[in-house]
Every structure is written in structure tokens, then in C-alpha cells.
Amino acid sequence: MPAHIAITRRVRPGCEAEFQAALREFLQTSFAHDGVQGASMLTPPPGSDSREYGILRTFASEQERDAFYASPMFKAWEERARTLTEGEPVYRPLTGLEAWFRSPQNPPPRWKMAVATFLGVFPVAMILNLTLGAAIRPWNFILGNAVFNGCVVLLLTWVVMPLITRALHGWLYSNESKTSL
């Protein structure tokens, strides 16, 4: 299973251009590491006072992610980044809907994510209702709902939403505008 990570760093005042250039170079270089499947930079909106930069990374697996963060290449980047940033970076694994719609570019508009999610949930719920529903209908209401919804979530997470986001990729990401690699 791919591992998606969002990293946030606060850049020191006046170091924004140098940080962007250094990060672009590092992101390009990082693709030489096995298991790196994607990387991009999210910059603050133009005219904003924010100095927070986002980095999105995708790895082939959690093991590849861990190997990357333990690598000399990453440790060298961390030393360089510390001279350009304030405080510690914040690492957040992306799961659920945010991972389904993770893109090297900007996330799609929420209404498009809602349509794509509906296209996944509707048929899964219908099929499960026609198949599993009959078997669990006599069960206790809470237990039956827990099993049914658990099946919906499992199918959406590992089967349906990856297929839907791949099939709708061109439509979902047709209006991208933020800076990326």
C-alpha cells in the first residue's frame, strides 16, 4: 500500500526563494531513492503573509518511507532545511479521503471530491445491500450496521476509490493552479 505524507515547514523571513530553490532541487534528487513515487511543493498563496510551505510525498510502502527518512540523502536535506526554516517540520500521514484525492498538484475542488465519492459509495452500498444485507438483516441492528459500514469503508478504501480517482483523474484535476513540480 502506498504511504502518503504531508509535511509543513515554516520558512524564515527572507529565505523563501532560497528555500523554494533548495526544495525543488531536493525533490528532484529524491526520486533516485527507491520507493519514492511522488513529491511536490505547495507554496503560500500569492500576496499572503504566510511563510508555511507544504510538501506532499508518496512512497511505495511504509517500509520505503521509513528507509527514505533514514537515508543519508534525507538527513543532509534536513540539515540544509534547518538553516532556512523555523521550528520543527510537522509530518502528517494522509489517510481516508485526503489520500484518495492526493495529487502532485492541487487537490480538486470539494464538490468534485463529493461527486467522485458518491460515485463510489452509491454502487458499493447498493451491491452490499442486495448481497450482504439479506444475510445481516436478522442480526442486531447495531451489529448489522457495524458490519455493513465496515465493509463499505474497506471496499472504498482499498478497491473502489483508487479505481474511481484513476478513472476521473483528468476531470478531478482539470483546474489546478498552485505551484508544483
| Cα torsion through 48, 85, 94, 120, rounded to 10 | 30
Q: What percentage of the chain reaches a pLDDT higher than 70?
A: 88
pLDDT recorded at residue 106? 57
Whether residue 3 contacts residue 65, with contact meaning beta carbons closer than 8 Å, is answered with yes
pLDDT recorded at residue 98? 59
pLDDT recorded at residue 123? 94
Whether residue 40 contacts residue 128, with contact meaning beta carbons closer than 8 Å, is answered with no
Task: Give the pLDDT band (50/70/90) at residue 176.
Answer: very low
Task: Give the pLDDT band (50/70/90) at residue 56.
Answer: confident
pLDDT recorded at residue 95? 67
pLDDT recorded at residue 104? 44
Segment 90-94 mean pLDDT? 86
Q: What is the pLDDT of residues 21-50, one digit of tens each?
A: 999 999 999 989 888 988 888 888 778 888
Q: What is the pLDDT of residues 153-166, one digit of tens each?
A: 888 877 888 788 77
Segment 95-108 mean pLDDT? 58
Q: What is the pLDDT of residues 64-85, one digit of tens each?
A: 999 999 999 999 999 999 999 9
The whole-chain average pLDDT of the chain stands at 85
- Grid coordinates representing 159 are 478497491
pLDDT at residue 179 greater than cutoff 50: no
Task: Give the pLDDT band (50/70/90) at residue 125.
Answer: very high
- Which residues on adjacent β-strands are paired with residue 59? 3, 36
Whether residue 133 contacts residue 125, with contact meaning beta carbons closer than 8 Å, is answered with no
Strand order in the sheet with 3-11: 36-42, 52-59, 3-11, 85-94
Whether residue 13 contacts residue 56, with contact meaning beta carbons closer than 8 Å, is answered with no
List, in order of start, the domains of the chain with CATH numbers: 3-94 (3.30.70.100), 110-172 (no CATH)
Whether residue 117 contacts residue 160, with contact meaning beta carbons closer than 8 Å, is answered with no
The sign of the CA dihedral 90, 62, 96, 77 is: positive
Q: What is the pLDDT of residues 7-20, one digit of tens each?
A: 999 999 999 999 99
